[in-house]
Structure 1
């Protein structure tokens, strides 16, 4: 399927694993704060930490400028990093009790930071944050053990991106995404590869993405990180997923392992989808503008295939969150900044869907006239699947921040025949046990 992360450069996973391990070690060494810090009043300076590319940084600064114009007694310093260095820096500043006031937080880390007392409990500030107007199922994705440690900025839904010109070149109609299965996806991929000749592959592979494995499990009634009462991931399910990934290669639906890993290891602009060398690929719906811009091609979005036709079990994922440091003495002003960035038209019309489809329905409606045609496809996709959504999984546990990088190492060994699907499945189960 090939899954592209919405928040990070997918190729730096070895360094990401090391960074996550470092962050976890630093967090463990950090004592939890003994209580809420004294709140600062009067003219203050806030620090806000973010990760992202130059475009995101530029429009975020413009939104901050608008906030400062409306709140002249608050100065805001934007501290942006790339994904890989972001978590090292946050762990270091948190351990040194010098954390930024407002923190852009990811699903992989929110439990690690929230459960160790590094983030403020936002339920106490619910009246100053855009929480009461948010769908409960979305808001719940920012909770850890019943406490809200992050306000979801946006939501994103997994989809299959289809390169419309390549489908037309192959003479193959876009499939019915309400009924197709993983078998259909494989067969269609093989047909596309045959029709497109040496120029492009039919679809992306499988076997390296935690998101893909999560869906493979959920469609079989299992969860990678099961909540109480949910069925845990079985060896049979993981093995079948690895076998499917190898079958995609064998049937030439997907490229060889070396080509897949090379595509995953480079920048977005160099991926097979972005260079018009792949007709179908899994991605987050909110990535459509970036991939369409890179490829110069129109992209369509389809529901992911299902194990049982018509039951893809799509979930909404918080693209990222705004959190407040428990160390901050300016939590009132921090909440004011977050509320402005998420609800004020002076900010939302700039940020549009850059951090995901806005989590607030009123903002989604408000920004619709201001997004490009491909971003509108992303908004329409989220609206289309909304009635079909199933409850999202619990957030990644605090000890599992390296899960993404760890799984990719195992999956790469399987795809390169350094491990059998059965051996890979056992390694995955051992990994999950080690996170407990």
Structure 2
């Protein structure tokens, strides 16, 4: 999930409390309605109130408010009832609202949630608005594809992201070592990492065997995919091969020991091994470069994950969705279109939800960026855009379970508690029944 802009927990909770007091979680008045688009407001003079729900930090709330204020300045008949909260518990809250028929008009999801809510008919199909109220012509095609579930366009990317291999450039330069490159094979990368360990005494790479992003890219390079409908798109043998690849890397001292690897498996970006000095590289999201840079004085670089870069795709860091029950679908779609295609809105939102989805506006935004880490992140992702392959299907319900169970299975192998084969078989057995 796209990380919230860093703020202290105390400030975040204070912001949530303030919003909760001013804007209670009562969406029903704006969101009750039929399943079709009849009754959607298109009258520029008719007062419309849209309920909006998303997760994030105080900073995200400020940026979003600025963008919505810009929309209201052009559409004074539209007002917003905004509620936001921390990432933790957001999906559960949205599920509760869906179960009670109280879904907000406009809300956010990510690829952990999208298919689940789409298959429950919570999200509206926005295909009918494409080319009319919704202009996606400046989006990378795979970014549009990655918002489609069962042929329905149910999510519009609020921003784009892709996988990135971040490395300690200062460490490599100081020791006259070559930098990793996009397109190097996994085996070549592991050999390179072993060389880094030998020369610098810093393990060359984190062990990404617990990282679903890395496993997913590797699978696509084998001609497979993470999912095929509501089933896995791979076998236990594939998982065992992946675990064995990294067992070999550990044997070559290309990675840290299991206890340090465990530290790299946490989601806190500030604890990634590339910035704590416990590995020369980390497997992250490309747009996390600026946040990583805040945690180290060393210069960082970023390239694609090892292997064929066409296995990567333009991923929605977050989606905007419209409630299928909303009386004001057309207005909600118009707001989304504004947020992703209006220059003032895109500038206000920045990269908080990923790189701008509109490639023309991304290029304009890049000209204004002064942060070297963000400049590099944008440059790398733009370079990769020409190499991106077709987007995979949006993960089905149960994807979050797979992610957590992959960590457990990988760590069982890393700590020697299970063979790659046993850990792989256990992973499939636990997760497959929960997909759907």
Task: Output the TM-score relative to the length of structure 1.
Answer: 0.85
Q: Which runs of 5+ in 1 are unaligned?
A: 10-31
Instruction: Confirm or deny: 8 A CA contact 2:34 2:327 kept in the other structure.
Output: no
Q: Which runs of 5+ in 2 are unaligned?
A: 6-31
Residue matched to 1:291: 292
Q: Distance in 1 between matches of 2:415 and 2:320?
A: 39
**In the alignment, is residue 348 of structure 1 matched against residue 346 of structure 2?**
yes
Stretches (4+) displaced over 4 A: none
Q: Distance in 2 between matches of 1:70 and 1:303?
A: 40
Counterpart pick for 1:208 among 203, 210, 221:
210
Residue matched to 1:128: 133
Q: 1:52 to 1:275 in 2, by over 3 A?
A: farther
Residue deviations 1:187-223, cap 9 Å, x none? Answer: 22222233333xx432111221221111121111111
Equivalences for residues 9-408 of structure 1 within 5 A: 35-36=35-36, 38-39=39-40, 42-126=46-130, 127-178=132-183, 180-197=184-201, 200-226=202-228, 232-265=233-266, 267-306=268-307, 313-371=311-369, 372-408=371-407
Tell me by how many angstroms 1:227 deviates: 6.0
Q: Distance in 2 between matches of 1:201 and 1:335?
A: 49
Q: Distance in 1 between matches of 2:232 and 2:418?
A: 26
Instruction: Confirm or deny: 8 A CA contact 1:119 1:326 kept in the other structure.
Output: yes
Tell me by how many angstroms 1:60 deviates: 1.9
Question: What SS does the aligned partner of 1:388 have?
Answer: coil
Q: Distance in 2 between matches of 1:58 and 1:261?
A: 35
Tell me by how many angstroms 1:392 deviates: 1.7
Residue deviations 1:229-261, cap 9 Å, x none? Answer: x99313322111111222333322222222222
Q: Distance in 1 between matches of 2:171 and 2:61?
A: 33
Q: Distance in 2 between matches of 1:297 and 1:265?
A: 21
- The CA RMSD over aligned residues, in Å, is 2.6
Q: 1:91 to 1:77 in 2, by over 3 A?
A: same
Q: 1:8 to 1:137 in 2, by over 3 A?
A: same
Q: Distance in 2 between matches of 1:231 and 1:264?
A: 23
Instruction: Confirm or deny: 8 A CA contact 1:39 1:332 kept in the other structure.
Output: yes
Q: Distance in 1 between matches of 2:428 and 2:358?
A: 37
Q: Distance in 2 between matches of 1:350 and 1:296?
A: 28
Which piece of structure 1 moves more, 328-337 or 84-93?
328-337
Q: Distance in 1 between matches of 2:366 and 2:354?
A: 13
Residue matched to 1:14: none
Which piece of structure 1 moves more, 231-240 or 200-209?
231-240
Q: 1:79 to 1:194 in 2, by over 3 A?
A: farther
Instruction: Confirm or deny: 8 A CA contact 2:164 2:283 kept in the other structure.
Output: yes
Q: Distance in 1 between matches of 2:65 and 2:120?
A: 30
Instruction: Confirm or deny: 8 A CA contact 1:235 1:425 kept in the other structure.
Output: yes
Instruction: Confirm or deny: 8 A CA contact 1:222 1:231 kept in the other structure.
Output: no
Residue deviations 1:38-87, cap 9 Å, x none? Answer: 43673233222222234333322222222233322222233222222110
Q: Distance in 1 between matches of 2:70 and 2:240?
A: 52
Question: What SS does the aligned partner of 2:139 have?
Answer: coil
Q: 1:270 to 1:211 in 2, by over 3 A?
A: closer
Question: What SS does the aligned partner of 1:300 have?
Answer: strand
Q: Distance in 1 between matches of 2:218 and 2:85?
A: 33
Instruction: Confirm or deny: 8 A CA contact 1:112 1:401 kept in the other structure.
Output: no
Question: What SS does the aligned partner of 1:395 have?
Answer: coil
Residue matched to 1:433: 432
Instruction: Confirm or deny: 8 A CA contact 1:138 1:152 kept in the other structure.
Output: yes
Q: 1:177 to 1:131 in 2, by over 3 A?
A: closer
Q: Distance in 1 between matches of 2:229 and 2:93?
A: 31
Which piece of structure 1 moves more, 203-212 or 63-72?
63-72
Tell me by how many angstroms 1:432 deviates: 5.2
Q: Distance in 2 between matches of 1:168 and 1:212?
A: 26
Q: Distance in 2 between matches of 1:43 and 1:76?
A: 11
Tell me by how many angstroms 1:312 deviates: 5.9
